[in-house]
Structure 1
Amino acid sequence: MATPQDESNSGSPELRAAEYVRMSTEHQRYSTENQSDAIRSYAARRGYTIVRTYADEGKSGLNMDGRSGLRQLIADVTDGRADFEIVLAYDVSRWGRFQDADESAYYEYQCRRAGVQVEYCAEPFENDGSLGSDIQKMLKRKMAGEYSRELSVKVFAGQCRLIEKGFRQGGPAGLGLRRQLIDEAGQKKSLLGRLEHKSIHTDRVVLVPGPSDEIEVVRRIYRSFVEDGRSEGEIADLLNSEAVLTDLGRPWTRGTVHQVLINEKYIGNNVWNRGSFKLKQKRVRNEPSMWIRSDGAFPAIVDPLLFNAAQAIIRGRSAKMSDAAMLELLRQLLAKHGYLSGLMIDETASCPSSSAYRSRFGSLLRTYSLVGYAPDRDFAYVESNRRLRQQYPGLVEGMLEELRSAGASVSLNSDTGIATINHEITAALLLCRCAQTEAGSLRWLVRLGGPNQPDITIAARMEPGEGAVRDYYILPALHGWSSRLQFAERNGASLDTYRFDTLEALYELMRRVRLAEVA
């Protein structure tokens, strides 16, 4: 976030400077206020006047994701909008703890190439390009990255100990369960609602049974599967016919029923580290031998015998198939969609479950390699984007029709997707896919910029599952937005001022009114 500064008492500065401050959650000495105090003392000693502040509060320095302040700084510098000659950062680690030191150097190089010098106020060297300066800076960058790696190891070890003691580590509780907050003495405090988090460091979270009607739905799923012989798809159809929703308020699918059937938390086991996303690098699914577990940590809401019977049925479905037959089904699925994911496999009735493939071949990644597929990221979003592409033409046409009904003249450039309204204003509609974090929070990414930036960007935030539009953000280009905006459910006045439930405000703004002729 960039903010201009009051220059009324700046006198006659020799050089204009911008400050960049960043704080994650590491230590109070790195608070943005303390950084800014040190930077301003440094600037005063050198006769610089700080005219702009870029800040990233509560942001990790591992990469550029979510760091709107640094992104805006780099964009202002490279696009020629910078009204300063120097960027001041507290030290190298505030610039970033990039795991690749060359990435940190690249962003500094972009500034220097545009004629803007970067200076580190608390470092023992001048960033003047000398041999001694460059060597120290390189070591500092490596040390900053190494600090994050060492911290990651310590945090992981601490999380493992908490799991083994029976405490929950992130993620929604799930249907039939609730997250119970307890203090350091083990005394119960309150139940945490969805999207709520503990606020005291020494508090812990455990799982407890939820409402009786939800528990009955979970038990009914197991009984239907084991005793009645229904498949996951049949159980999903039955629940949907009765208007029973998942814990996230969504209809059931074959995959969501399958996840209930294989999750050990329903028999009280605390299992963690099924997947890893260390240092915000590539997300991977771990082998079962790497899982951290504590059996019997929570009260069970499903009879362990019933749970084990369900696992035996799931394993037995694929036991009758040869390795070659299972892989051939996967090849057919890959040929049909062009990619594979655990969710896709679980949603395909003709395929064994993703857990069956893991059990038979060791892991999904190894299974993928056997059919010639090498994913470099999670492609579950592909199906979501396909649904968005299907909806987009209808939503655009509906918006254009409403504008015409309001008396506006509208033309659409089919190549760029930009509409020209009343021969003077350009606008474009963006559909923003809803993503859910591991903690259950909702996020939307808005990508702006490009060679054909319209005067107005209409960002339509989609509901989870991309079934409908949730609301709209009408973003004027004159504001100078960052090229990437990440929206949460609530974003503060700086963004939510532009939020609207419908596009009536836009239609009214573009309405043409006839004026009486002046005699």
Structure 2
Amino acid sequence: MHHPTQLTNALMQVPAAQYLRMSTDHQRYSIANQCLAIRNYADQRGMVVVRTYADEGKSGLDAVGRDAFLQLIADVESGQANFRVILVFDVSRWGRFQNTDESAFYEYRCTRARIPVVYCYESFDNDGSPLATLIKNIKRSMDGEYSRVLSAKVYAGQCRLAEMGYFQGGPPGYGLRRRLVGANGEAKGILEAGEQKNLRGDRVVLIPGPPAETRRVRQIFSAYVERTLSEEAIAQWLNRLGVPTDLNRQWTRQTVHNVLTNERYLGCSLYNRRTAKLKQKSTRNAPVLWIRREGMFKPIVEESLFERAQALLAFRSHCDDATMLRLLRELFARIGSISVAIIDEQDDMPCAATYRMRFGSLPKAYALAGLEADRDYAYIDLKRRLRAYGAKVTDRILRSLESAGCEVLRSLGNFRCNGLAVALTVVRCGKAPDGRPQWRIPKAPREAPDLLAVVRMAVGNTDPLDYYLIPREECQWLPVRSGSDGCARFQQYKIQSFDGVEQALLKTLTQGRRYVDGH
């Protein structure tokens, strides 16, 4: 039986949440060590940990991918958190944000909700005093600088190893394999896809793959240079043979292009063609900065064949606009028609994808060349307009949510808000066989969102007709075709105005429950 004093002390303890983060297996910052340190701190100050948020193996450079961290912020701002303080081991575990204002931004959101953040093993009390604020900002800057310095050291080390001929990561490419070697150079076996070395002194080198794959690489180069097949035609040929890529996928024009431009097939290793430091946007480096080590193994492709392939690729991709349009006209005059397949079959002109990138679309290229297309491409412009309209609707929704204090993360047209995933799709108005308007609400993505927002366009596809907010459990009934009155199954989720959509989303995403137009 507990003594009354013990029960009183237990009731007086302050409920706390602990946030734990570890980007590597460094012993000092292991999850177990952080837990122990925070528990000791809580016991000494009359606190009890009632909730744990842990991001294991997550970088602190930003909040992207730190699901536990984002859930913590969402719980704090929901007003339903069962804790009154957040305990963190130190400032660096909160994050090594490159912009100190970003770190302060997330902490302020907690403080605004009257749930302060406490750094247990820092030399200052996070009490908002001028001295504590100054020290905290210095620590944030130091943590950000630590990441920058460490990144520079790692980059320099990788460049040095690349100059020695060691492979520095990523898929090796079709027809190549990664071999693990010891510190003294002895071979230790082949690393399969997903496998990594486990000893710091071990290294990885590239070697030719199985004879069947290296022979296939030579056939790809020969088909492109000597048989004048296009990259698209080569991809179709390989898929008909049932040959998968190195990632066990079907071939595409881009994967064939990657093979044709990969200098590793000459027996050399390449590094530093692109860099993406500190989670910044990847940038393409100038060839003078590339690190090339030749003679690593016997070439898979003859150098003369490789150079001929590069010359042909350069010709196809670097024609000026006038030359590209002239080639289109000459092709049409010679064959009498024009299409993607016909363009891709030609070895003396750019492929169809190059025309799309250069002129925006194939119909525009045809029009500039003075040619009549072999089909009506109006649907392409319609898809582009509907995609732009969907982005406009999404931007408006996100602005409303952010104005309401919600945290939103956008990804490929969809977004997450307060832990819930929302997807938006704009459905065009088509015609049924009897001529009446018809809409087809498509199947939800493989990973069904918590909420699917559907915009049905009116006849003419210039203005919206109505809206639907469909919860995850109902997405199993998609795709579905509907008439002017909609689909009977989804009538309860129908909303007539965009203002109603905004209100429903705000109630759903801020209250953390299903709410659709009063239902």
TM-score normalised by structure 2 residue count: 0.64
- Residue 92 (structure 1) aligns with: 91
Shift in Å, 1:87: 0.6
Return the match for 1:418 from 470, 478, 486. 470
Matched, 1:147 2:146: yes
- Residue 230 (structure 1) aligns with: 229
- Residue 65 (structure 1) aligns with: 64
Alpha-carbon contact 1:253-1:347 (below 8 Å) kept: no
Give, in whole Å, the separation in 2 of the partners of 1:58 and 1:157.
23
Alpha-carbon contact 1:88-1:119 (below 8 Å) kept: yes
Shift in Å, 1:278: 0.8
Return the match for 2:474 from 427, 441, 458. 427
Shift in Å, 1:165: 1.0
Alpha-carbon contact 1:254-1:347 (below 8 Å) kept: no
Alpha-carbon contact 1:314-1:353 (below 8 Å) kept: no
| More displaced stretch, 122-131 vs 167-176 | 167-176
Give, in whole Å, the separation in 1 of the partners of 2:151 and 2:192.
28
Q: Alpha-carbon deviations, 1:177-229, whole Å to 9, x = none?
A: 11111122211112111122222222211111111111111000111222222
Structure 1 residues 419, 347: closer, same or farther in 2, change over 3 A? farther
| More displaced stretch, 90-99 vs 15-24 | 15-24
Shift in Å, 1:129: 0.8
Structure 1 residues 260, 396: closer, same or farther in 2, change over 3 A? closer
Shift in Å, 1:299: 3.5
Matched, 1:348 2:352: yes
Shift in Å, 1:270: 1.1
Shift in Å, 1:349: 4.9
Shift in Å, 1:107: 0.6
Structure 1 residues 106, 46: closer, same or farther in 2, change over 3 A? same
- Residue 443 (structure 2) aligns with: 395
| More displaced stretch, 290-299 vs 61-70 | 290-299
Give, in whole Å, the separation in 1 of the partners of 2:27 and 2:38.
16
Shift in Å, 1:122: 1.1
Structure 1 residues 149, 397: closer, same or farther in 2, change over 3 A? closer
- Residue 166 (structure 1) aligns with: 165
Letter matched to residue 19 of structure 2: Y
Give, in whole Å, the separation in 1 of the partners of 2:249 and 2:45.
59
Give, in whole Å, the separation in 1 of the partners of 2:109 and 2:471.
34
Alpha-carbon contact 1:24-1:58 (below 8 Å) kept: yes
Alpha-carbon contact 2:317-2:350 (below 8 Å) kept: no
Shift in Å, 1:252: 2.3
Q: Report 1:236-247 matches (<5 A).
A: 236-247=235-246
Q: Alpha-carbon deviations, 1:365-402, whole Å to 9, x = none?
A: xxxxxxxxxxxxxxx979xx999999x9343699xxxx
Shift in Å, 1:85: 0.9
Give, in whole Å, the separation in 2 of the partners of 1:352 and 1:289.
30
- Residue 293 (structure 2) aligns with: 294
Q: Report 1:309-324 matches (<5 A).
A: 309-317=308-316, 321-322=319-320
> Unpaired runs of 5+ in structure 2?
1-5, 328-348, 359-410, 414-422, 429-439, 447-464, 479-503, 515-519
Letter matched to residue 41 of structure 2: Y
Shift in Å, 1:305: 2.1
- Residue 265 (structure 2) aligns with: 266
Give, in whole Å, the separation in 2 of the partners of 1:172 and 1:8.
59
Alpha-carbon contact 1:97-1:141 (below 8 Å) kept: yes
Shift in Å, 1:41: 1.5
| More displaced stretch, 235-244 vs 11-20 | 235-244
SS of the aligned residue for 2:64 comes to: coil
SS of the aligned residue for 1:395 comes to: coil
Shift in Å, 1:417: 4.3
Q: Alpha-carbon deviations, 1:31-70, whole Å to 9, x = none?
A: 1111121111111221111111111111110011221111
Aligned length: 372
Matched, 1:308 2:312: no
Alpha-carbon contact 2:273-2:289 (below 8 Å) kept: yes
Shift in Å, 1:116: 0.3
Alpha-carbon contact 1:152-1:279 (below 8 Å) kept: yes
Give, in whole Å, the separation in 2 of the partners of 1:388 and 1:300.
51
Give, in whole Å, the separation in 2 of the partners of 1:291 and 1:38.
46
Give, in whole Å, the separation in 2 of the partners of 1:305 and 1:381.
42
SS of the aligned residue for 2:19 comes to: strand
Alpha-carbon contact 2:34-2:89 (below 8 Å) kept: yes
SS of the aligned residue for 1:11 comes to: helix
SS of the aligned residue for 2:128 comes to: coil
- Residue 118 (structure 1) aligns with: 117
Alpha-carbon contact 1:182-1:190 (below 8 Å) kept: yes
Q: Alpha-carbon deviations, 1:457-481, whole Å to 9, x = none?
A: xxxxxxxxxxxxxxxxxxxx889xx
Give, in whole Å, the separation in 1 of the partners of 2:445 and 2:66.
35
TM-score normalised by structure 1 residue count: 0.64
- Residue 276 (structure 1) aligns with: 275
Give, in whole Å, the separation in 2 of the partners of 1:310 and 1:196.
33
Shift in Å, 1:154: 0.2
Q: Alpha-carbon deviations, 1:340-374, whole Å to 9, x = none?
A: xxxxx9973554999xxxxxxxxxxxxxxxxxxxx
Give, in whole Å, the separation in 2 of the partners of 1:430 and 1:156.
50
| More displaced stretch, 47-56 vs 227-236 | 227-236
Shift in Å, 1:253: 2.4
- Residue 135 (structure 1) aligns with: 134
Shift in Å, 1:285: 2.1
Letter matched to residue 443 of structure 2: L
- Residue 191 (structure 1) aligns with: 190
Letter matched to residue 300 of structure 2: I
Give, in whole Å, the separation in 2 of the partners of 1:271 and 1:243.
30
Letter matched to residue 474 of structure 2: A
Structure 1 residues 290, 430: closer, same or farther in 2, change over 3 A? farther
Q: Alpha-carbon deviations, 1:115-162, whole Å to 9, x = none?
A: 101111111111111110000001001111000000000000011011
Letter matched to residue 470 of structure 2: I
Structure 1 residues 350, 95: closer, same or farther in 2, change over 3 A? closer
Structure 1 residues 30, 314: closer, same or farther in 2, change over 3 A? same
